A and B are shown apart, each in its own frame.
Chain A
Amino acid sequence: MSVLIDVLSHRATEKDLKYLTEQAGIRTIIDLRGKDEIKALSCVLLDEDFATITLKPSTGPLLAPKVLRTSPPKRSFSDPNPSTTRGSFSSLGFER
């Protein structure tokens, strides 16, 4: 939970999500954005980019105390020009 909040506090980009899959062992991403929001992102990594991710075996790291104390991800792993990679209200069309 804290991990999610930490990430969302920085409005996670596609690259942030990739970081999460690699560092936090996220296996499944449920993306609740609408199609218009996704299309609005100019830097969308293809699923192929994530195709093979090697992780150490782990169960439920999100619920582990160690992970819950994880600091928010540093912006350094994000795109240097975040405005080109994030969803925005103006791009949402009818959705929010």
Chain B
Amino acid sequence: MKSPPLLSRRSASVGSAGTTSSSREFTRIRYHLDFSGLSILRMSSMFVRFWGLLMYVLGFKKYAARYFISTTMNRAGLKGLYFNFVENCQGGIRDSLRLIADPNNHPILVHCTQGKDRTGLVVALTLYVVGVPQEVILEDYQISRAGISAEVPRMLEEMEEVGLDPSFLDSPPETLKETFEFIIRRYNSVEGFLDNIGFAKEERLRMREVLIDQTPMATK
């Protein structure tokens, strides 16, 4: 497989690998992919962008975030956020998938802040590529509901502080399902979307080959 040339070195720290007789020593590889970044601003109107960015530049980051959240994110909802990821975060998605498709990187940990939206989308697309049925992907995604339950009270406080709607804490399978439907409407198919972002068929086949255990069950 081709190495991922589009991975930005600006955000990646890559080390070397070596082996010993009984153990393997290697430098941990950590990729910071600014998945959403300012691209999320594209969700907002020019008016909101102007005033929000002005506040941000002047150092009122918290007010800027609150303004942007109240005028844009809460209106778009979780679904709108995911659609925005699909449209405006394609580089981050592509780079993540390429890293996951490279067996030299395994085992891999993917994370963000809540671990369900950005991470959830990347993991969902990975599962799709390797052929996991959609209902299983949706079921897997909604496990985050239980997973973050212990943190919900604290997260709600934080969300209230910046004016973020509590619905962003949820991970309803319908949202991911509608995101897949959005991808299909926009790009004709999930494969079409992956082609469009530069994660080609050969890479998808490679990912499938790498992630699926080919050992027959009977021999285990």
Contact = CB atoms under 8 A, between A and B. Distances in A.
A93 to B, nearest CB: 5
A4 B13 CA distance: 22
Contacts, number: 196
Given A10-B150, A31-B112, A52 B27 contact: yes
Contact of B15 (A17, A30, A51): A51
Contact of A33 (B99, B112, B149): B112
A5 to B, nearest CB: 5
B92 to A, nearest CB: 7
B161 to A, nearest CB: 5
Contacts of A9: 146-151
Contact of B213 (A6, A17, A47, A63): A63
A96 B73 CA distance: 10
A94 B151 CA distance: 22
Contacts of B150: 9-10
Contacts of B143: 5
Contact of B162 (A5, A8, A54, A90): A90
A51 B139 CA distance: 37
B105 A27 contact: yes
B159 interface: yes
A55 B151 CA distance: 31
A75 to B, nearest CB: 10
Contacts of A29: 28-31, 108-111
A35 interface: yes
Contact of A32 (B41, B118, B162, B213): B118
How large, as a class, is the contact surface on chain B? 35 or more
Most central of A17, A60, A62, A96 by chain B CB within 10 Å:
A96
B25 A88 contact: no
Contact of A26 (B34, B36, B109): B109
Given A27-B29, A28-B99, A31-B30, A55 B23 contact: yes
B155 A93 contact: no
Contacts of A37: 113
Nearest to A52: B25
Contacts of B110: 4, 29-30, 32
Contact of A89 (B29, B146, B148, B162): B162
18 contacts: A1-B123, A4-B123, A5-B147, A8-B148, A9-B151, A20-B109, A27-B26, A28-B28, A28-B30, A30-B96, A31-B32, A33-B32, A51-B28, A54-B23, A56-B22, A62-B106, A63-B213, A94-B52
Interface of B: 13, 15, 19, 22-38, 40-41, 52, 56, 61-62, 64-65, 68, 73, 81, 92, 96, 99-100, 105-119, 122-123, 140, 143-144, 146-151, 155, 158-159, 161-162, 164, 168, 211, 213
Interchain residue pairs A-B with the least CB separation, the first 3: A8-B115, A9-B147, A89-B158
